[in-house]
Structure 1
């Protein structure tokens, strides 16, 4: 915001000089004076600093944000490639710099249906996890790219291949990373039926030996149990890890995205719990974030979390449709809003904020 104000002040100064120059040219030709004493001073109107924003931020689905220092890196599904955005203010996403960082070779196993990319900085290098296949739905898997450049907008992205376990090499999407207790874990949504007859999606977790390799047992963390997880058909997908004041949460998307009732569910890790032990996670029997027609928010889900620039606020970013019946189409838009933790240390996401409503910007440094 400070850069915007300085730029506008420079513009006002240039405009002042242009006006004076024109005055000299026109009045000198008429034999008149153009001195400051003969003319009223030019009023310089200082711009008012913006302190609010409105949703939606941008058209897109499956938003993800990673904050590194003062910079936010953002990704969402574009379908045939991977695009990375860079900004110091997520609310200004529509005007942020973006760059296509990877486009797979046509005909390869990861060249079609590219979904849900997420970027992380791990062990001093950058990694992008994404879903892709060869065009046949049964072959959708999760994949990894690596970039050793300190700036992920630069350097070369190396294809590290598919990330999977021999125990669970089946349809797998929406991969994300969890760091806890000095260990690193990978979570994803999968269909264990290799015939793809049963479309039920479940969420799994496995330990990582490095950013592109899984090791040990694969644990089923959650599967659709409640009615609100089975609209359309049973879906638990898009796991996202949130570190709270006292423990960790895993927030996921439930029900088919083609319905208006796509929503967020949540698991809570018990105190001193082991992420690989399913019974150490407590599942909420109600959704934690749902549609709100009066706010033009249908099917809100596939979220991510980030901190404000000064680190004092927690923010939720997610996609939703502006109208009923739009499903999993390109009509979805990205929105964001702040949330808090209650007295028990659990997140309270509230309800979707209406589009067009003025919202205070994230707290600045």
Structure 2
């Protein structure tokens, strides 16, 4: 009887122990993107690989480290001839998967089916009226929008140099309305202009009934490469006045010996209770645009608003909540991921973006009534924590440094 009781207690302790993962997820992992797929109880991961589109599928966050879980899902001769493919993102729309990516200074999409690592086909250039890159899908009020990096002068009378953030309605998963393109963020602040005026890598963020977009500011080869934030505070995503930018400083920047944390992805934990940020960063104090950028994942503190914190250091961390849970946990997570979280409350000394809209047909989830805030100022940048690294293998392609990989 004693043996049986002890055995049961040990088993319960084993089930109760939280899953772990190790940062960095990839030693070389620029432009990372993660989504948790409840239908397959799997994480789906993409990063820049230069000459094709590769998806890593695994049941745990730590499984992203295993290249055995990675599959080349699309590659054509044009990608081989011009190995400047970057920033792939995998999105499910109406039950089918699509991969949005950048190639040769243009934004593209390929179409898949119900299997995220199945066959992809029919590459379509989505925007052909100027330079573009880093496209993603924003979902608001039952409508889909393409958000991407553009040149302001191509779509507006504003001629500020460098790259800005544009939005356009998705008529279908593979077509936008090119006659309707709006600039919702320009690199007008000093912290967005280090090394060149830059707004790129937009990423939708849905939390507590609110819609945000993070984006990368300043040029990637500088330690000032960081994350900015805009908040949908109006009714119409296509109206630039509906977006409110946090102007005083970035929400996530260099720290703890890691520099240029940017080009991120946002994802929700399997049980729907935690907001996570996946990003790349380098240990080179001067910054990095090549393959010496590692993939890190960290939980965003949502206790009092949105506090992105400072870049994490290498080591073992607690995995996202609900990882490895049973089917009921997975179903709950799928529901929580599209349901409003607890109200956001104010923080002393935090920057208030704007009072949340009480109701809006354009907001997917129930909007909160408390002010939306951004967390307190981050810790100061500290000295480097690593001294080793391979030389940057990146080569300049037009206006961007991209990575060339040989597979």
**How high is the TM-score relative to the length of structure 1?**
0.77
1:201-242 CA distance string (max 9 Å, x none): 011001111011112411011110111100001000000010
Deviation string for 1:315-365 (max 9, x for gaps)?
11000002212410111000011013254xx42111112223x32121222
Which residue of 2 is the match for residue 180 of structure 1? 140
Larger radius of gyration: 1
1:305 matched to 2:292 = no
Q: Among 29, 43, 54, which residue is 1:60 paired with?
A: 29
2:107 paired residue among 110, 127, 142: 142
Q: Is the 8 A contact 2:260 2:287 kept in 1?
A: no
Question: Which protein has greater RCO, CA pairs closer than 8 Å, 6+ apart?
Answer: 2
Q: Tell me if the contact between 1:104 and 1:111 (Cα under 8 Å) persists in the aligned partners.
A: no
Note the 1:352-363 alignment, pairs <5 A.
352-356=311-315, 358-363=316-321
- The equivalent residue for 1:123 is 94
Q: What TM-score, normalized by structure 2, do the two folds share? A: 0.69
Does the aligned pair in 2 maintain the 1:296–1:355 contact within 8 Å? no
Alignment of 1:1-365 (within 5 A): 51-58=19-26, 59-69=28-38, 70-95=41-66, 97-106=69-78, 111-133=82-104, 140-148=105-113, 150-154=114-118, 156-164=119-127, 169-192=129-152, 200-215=162-177, 216-270=179-233, 272-285=234-247, 286-292=249-255, 295-343=256-304, 346-356=305-315, 358-364=316-322, 365=325
Distance in 2 of aligned mates of 1:312 and 1:49: 18
Q: Is the 8 A contact 1:273 1:281 kept in 2?
A: no
Q: Over residues 116-135 of structure 1, what are the superposed CA-to-partner deviations in whole Å (9 max), with x where a residue is unaligned?
A: 000001112110011002xx
Any stretches of 5+ residues in structure 2 without a counterpart?
Answer: 1-13, 326-407
Shift of the 253–315 alpha-carbon distance from structure 1 to 2, 3 Å rule, reads: same
For 2:307 and 2:237, how far apart are their aligned partners in 1? 22
Deviation digits for residues 133-186 of structure 1, max 9, x if unmatched? Answer: 2xxxxxx100110012x21212x2112410026xxx111000000111121100
Deviating runs (4+, > 2 A) in structure 1?
48-54, 191-194, 340-343
For 1:212 and 1:71, how far apart are their aligned partners in 2? Answer: 25
CA deviation after TM superposition for structure 1 residue 296, in Å: 2.8
Structure 2 counterpart SS, 1:91: helix
Taking a change above 3 Å as real, the CA distance of residues 212 and 107 of structure 1, as seen in their structure-2 partners, is: closer
Given that 2:220 and 2:287 are in contact with CA atoms closer than 8 Å, whether structure 1 keeps it comes out as no
Contact 2:33 2:264 in 1 (8 A): yes
- Kept in 2: contact 1:318–1:336 (CA 8 A): yes
Give the C-alpha shift of residue 248 in structure 1: 0.4
The answer to whether the 8 Å contact 1:117/1:131 transfers is: yes
Partners of 1:145 and 1:182 in 2: CA distance: 22
SS in 2 for 1:325: coil
- Conservation of the 8 A alpha-carbon contact between 1:288 and 1:349: yes
Give the total of aligned pairs.
Answer: 300
Residues 170 and 192, structure 1, Cα contact 8 Å, conserved in 2: no
| CA–CA distance in structure 1, aligned partners of residues 95 and 146 of structure 2 | 18
C-alpha distance in structure 2 between counterparts of 1:125 and 1:337, whole Å: 28
Q: List runs of 5+ in structure 1 lacking aligned partners.
A: 1-45, 134-139
- Give the Cα separation in 2 of the matches to 1:362 and 1:301: 21
Q: 1:107 to 1:63 in 2, by over 3 A?
A: closer
